[in-house]
Chains A and B, each alone.
Chain A
């Protein structure tokens, strides 16, 4: 997300260490402190590993700064959540660690599987 440009990545399981590094760098560049960066990296990793395990073995990441927040979207081409509540400790933890999370059916976004979007407020924003 250098210079405010969004971070876009396609990933498989082998890319997860690099995905974590790039998300961490982008979060730091956006102004999150070290602990918040770690929490965002963990939340994104949990979504990405869900995409790999349940969404066809691969996924897409789009991370951008929106106003005073970092917005991160993970999507995949799996079966989606097909009308049921999304299960799993990872998603639950991602919800706990972030300031907002939306779980959508991919059809609403023009993709086949699930789309999960999370938001984390930067410090200056959260303090207000």
Chain B
């Protein structure tokens, strides 16, 4: 790892929130962790009746990749047998061409999406480990050009893609440019929690639970330090999981803050339900704002 700090911002989400039409940047710096985001992505796709195309490190066989994914959930081998889960490589995708061109790759992915729809699937989702760049001797500038000019592939919302970058191999400047240029950037691991702030506002992403509770509480406290007009916003809509403990901590922190007259908690219906169940801890300054956004 070369010390690339992956920060969260408005386009960061957890992989669980991905849906057709998303083009996502993912990153890892560990040979076990590299399977976690793809595994969640794969199994979510299978459960939604989408076809899933996996292009992992060219050094990893299809059988090995299937075995690694099977460790995260049931049904990978059965899905492979019925053609819903397919293992391939960039070399195979662009064949018979020998060298990569963005035009060739995009055309092939469109074909694969159409084929998936023709086969009766809801769409196609693809996870691509960017180790293919080294395998095909591709220049990084060419890859960056492709990544920034692939929007048309996603417009029909029948295709989703994760591009997974190894932080040990790519230059930090390239990684940051890739992170920013993808419409969606993923948390490194399922179960992670990250936050970003604006004055008096905190946006939480991922899972708030026993393991991430300290990060959760610290992030909320920052929003309450000196909010403009004594109003603060806590946005939970990009949380995938909110434990009872963290929900209670949030209400306790709202009750304790002396810097806010009003705290808006923006959340999805299941989170609102949990907070209402804990209404005995509510304070007068709390406003619950429910949104249907399923991110």
Contact = CB atoms under 8 A, between A and B. Distances in A.
Contacts, number: 75
Contact of A16 (B43, B209, B269, B278): B209
B78 interface: yes
Contacts of B74: 1-2, 5, 7, 25
A90 B191 contact: no
Contacts of B75: 2-3
B156 to A, nearest CB: 23
B277 A18 contact: no
Interface residues of B, number: 29
Interface of B: 16, 40, 43, 47, 72-75, 78, 189-191, 207, 209-211, 241-245, 248, 269-270, 273-274, 277-278, 294
B207 A17 contact: yes
B295 to A, nearest CB: 13
A29 B47 CA distance: 7
Interface string A11-41: 0010011101110010011000011001101
Given A2-B74, A2-B78, A25 B209 contact: no
Interface in A49-74: 49, 52-53
6 contacts: A17-B190, A17-B209, A21-B40, A21-B72, A42-B243, A49-B243
A6 to B, nearest CB: 10
A46 B244 contact: yes
A74 B269 CA distance: 26
Contacts of B72: 18, 21-22
B46 to A, nearest CB: 9
B245 A42 contact: no
Given A45-B209, A89-B244, A90-B245, A38 B270 contact: yes
Interface residues of A, number: 30
A17 to B, nearest CB: 3
Nearest to A94: B244
A16 B270 contact: no
B210 A13 contact: yes
Among A1, A3, A42, max chain B CB count under 10 A is at A42
Contacts of B241: 20, 41-42, 45
B274 A49 contact: no
B171 to A, nearest CB: 30
B211 A93 contact: no
Contacts of A41: 241
B243 A46 contact: yes
A97 B277 CA distance: 10
Contacts of B270: 35, 38-39, 42
A45 to B, nearest CB: 6
